[in-house]
Structure 1
Amino acid sequence: MEQVDLELRKEHQEKIKQVISEVGKVVVGQEYMVNRLLIGLFTQGHILLEGVPGLAKTLTVNTLSDVLKLDFKRIQFTPDLLPADLIGTMIYNQQKADFEVKKGPIFSNLILADEVNRAPAKVQSALLEAMQEKTVSIGETTFKLDRPFLVLATQNPVDQEGTYPLPEAQVDRFMLKVHVDYPSKEEELEVMRRMANMTFKSEVNTILSKEDIFSIREEINQVALSESLERYIIELVFATRNPKDYKLDQEAQYIQFGASPRASINLNLAAKAVAFFDERDYVLPEDIKAVADDVMNHRILLNYEAEADGVTTHEIIRQILNKVQITK
């Protein structure tokens, strides 16, 4: 394994702190969301943001793209959206008497799929190909998407009118599902002061280049994860599939399907990223626990009994973390 340049790694870790600081010039609070967005960026994992409107999801992603000097496109998903509106289409060029490709907004580095669950199945299918294969098919031609490529999708948990529930296969493609919460009183006070000031402008500096992002990915890849923690990840995921084997009898009655193997992969990657952000070259159990909810909450399918009893996947995961022990 290629050795990491320690000075370069230290420089990158400092730059990550600067990125968070620069975003904070525009966005008040939401450090947790920014942290999760960076985890996704540096581990090539798409992110689903769930929260009510007005919590600065779009502003955060837009500001982050400026700080990272990446191309950014916001796509508003609506029931009448067509696949061509997303990926592009073939148009006829009269001068050349031939068809040529007009690329859609998906050809960018950061894609904000706003209210992603409002688009019909064909659009979801086109987005799924881009997320999974990093390619787009227009006509008979397949195009590779520019790297890095990251889909940040949002959905409103309250308003379900005119929505299409995301297929389980697509939801599973998201590395993390992050619940964006309301700001604190002090944070909202600062938001009000900034946004009510019509002359407020805050310019951000570009901190990381594409080359920096690729280098950080390599450095995160070399963060050490012990065999005992690898097995701990597997035990956590298997506890969602066979809860009775882990003395989770009460939770077993609510789980219809457990987490897929992607949960194991993404727990590994996300935990390494958390360790790297904390300036460590090894993973601690706390790193795994810190990302367990975001990695698994959308991968556990509960039954109607859980809905009737008001049980959530967050409660299930909390009990799993309490019961599953690390074995040497």
Structure 2
Amino acid sequence: MNTALQKVLENMESVIIGEKENLEYLLVALLSEGHVLLEGLPGVGKTKLALALSKSIDGEFKRVQFTPDVLPSDITGYYLYNRMTGEMDYKEGAALCNFLLADEINRASPRVQSSLLEAMEERQVTIEGETRRLPSPFMVIATQNAVENEGTYPLPEAQLDRFFMKLYITYPVRRDWREILNRYEYEDPMGKLAPVMSNQTLLNLREQAKEVLVNEKLKDYLLDVIEAIANHEAIKIGINPRGSLALIKGAKAWALLNGRDYVIPDDVQKVIVPIIGHRIRLKSGYEASLEHVERIIKEALRKVQIVV
């Protein structure tokens, strides 16, 4: 594994137990300049996962607890009249940071959810006709509970598609559960977590990820996989162009994470479910569960001949 990224992973694993794969996926999204949606039952550590990543990178972190009374201006910022100067002063919103934790995003109104769209896609916010660029890097990590639908606003497909990955956090196995009890019994180790990577190092790694080689045979393999998924009897809407680009970026990042400067089919197979699973839609009559979607994707992978 890449040495610098190994340090970040080990730093996160000092406070997050039993979630190595999801931590690796977070690093893939970080390298790919993507945003992540975390879903799981209450109390399984979604917020801590986001905090562990943001605290491991030397950047500015902000958190918004989404509720029905949160306003779009809380995200984008607003202008306030200054009596002393007679001018309008800009007050920064939560989006003006490197890592934005959108906690329980589905509890905010659709207007507030849509205020994130420009920030996530264009890396900018517009207030009263004036556009402000967001810092680099900029990453949104949003959470939502898998239960408690009352008082929530499901994310529209357009916004779901803006998330590079959707990760599911589940209950730990018994061995990891015991380690959580031991490590968190007397104090929260999150308070002692310190950055192990600078913003500039991260930006350099992102440039390295862009240079990872994807040959034409690998692109043919990826397109064959996309077609196989689209042609499955259960699929209503397959992978769109944004999703295919995300898949290439994710495969490049996974290759870099594992110390390679070229992509192999295994890289595509490793990242395809968290990148594609939330983008495809099933026909009515088919169970739209994670397990079913994952099974469809794996069936498609088995049908496609692996290139070398």
TM-score norm. by structure 2 comes to 0.94
Residue 299 of structure 2 is matched in structure 1 by: 319
1:39 aligns with 2:28: yes
Q: For residue 300 of structure 1, what is the amino acid of its counterpart? A: I
Q: Percent identity?
A: 39
Aligned with residue 60 of structure 1, among 49, 59, 64: 49
Cα separation, partners in 2 of 1:323 and 1:200, compared to 1, 3 Å? closer
Name the residue aligned to 2:156: 167
Structure 1 pair 308/22, CA: closer, same or farther in 2 (3 Å)?
Answer: closer
Tell me whether 1:95 sits opposite 2:75 in the alignment.
no
Match of 1:155 in 2: 144
Give the CA deviation at 1:303: 2.6
Cα–Cα, structure 1 residues 309 and 210, in superposed 2: closer, same or farther, change >3 Å? closer
1:223/1:272 contact within 8 Å kept: yes
Which of structure 1's runs of 4+ aligned residues deviate more than 4 A? 199-202, 308-311
Task: For residue 200 of structure 1, report the CA deviation from its aligned partner.
Answer: 5.7
For structure 2, which runs of at least 5 residues remain unmatched after alignment? none
- Give the CA deviation at 1:199: 7.6
Matched, 1:267 2:247: yes
Structure 2 CA distance for partners of 1:66 and 1:311, relative to 1, 3 Å: closer
- Whichever of the two has the greater Rg, that structure is 1
Structural mapping, 1:160-309, within 5 Å: 160-198=149-187, 203-241=192-230, 243=231, 248=232, 252=233, 254-307=234-287
Q: Supply the distance in 2 between the matched residues of 1:184 and 1:214 (Cα, whole angstroms).
A: 35
TM-superposed deviation, 1:157: 1.7
Equivalent position to 2:67, from 74, 78, 82: 78
Q: Is the 8 A contact 1:223 1:283 kept in 2?
A: yes
Contact 1:256 1:302 in 2 (8 A): yes
**1:193 CA drift (Å):** 1.6
Contact 2:35/2:162 (<8 A) preserved: yes
**Cα offset for 1:315?**
1.8
Shift of residue 265 of structure 1?
0.6
After superposition, what is the alpha-carbon deviation per residue over 1:257-277, rounded to whole angstroms, capped at 9, x for unaligned? 111111211111111111111
Is 1:123 aligned with 2:112?
Answer: yes
TM-score by length of 1: 0.88
Q: 1:310 to 1:34 in 2, by over 3 A?
A: closer
Q: Which residue of 2 aligns with 1:3?
A: none
Partners of 1:206 and 1:28 in 2: CA distance = 18
Deviation track 1:87-141 (CA, whole Å, cap 9, x = no partner) reads 2111121112222111111111011111111211211211001001111011221
Distance change >3 Å, CA 144–CA 226, structure 1 → 2: same
User: What code does the residue aligned with 1:47 have?
Assistant: V
Please report how far the alpha carbon of residue 327 of structure 1 lies from its aligned counterpart in structure 2 after TM superposition: 5.2
Range that drifts further, 196-205 or 286-295: 196-205
State the superposition RMSD in angstroms: 2.0
The alignment of Structure 1 onto Structure 2 pairs a total of residues equal to 308
Q: Which residue type is aligned with residue 43 of structure 1?
A: S
User: Is 1:143 aligned to residue 115 of structure 2?
Assistant: no
Greater shift in the superposed pair: 26-35 or 105-114: 26-35
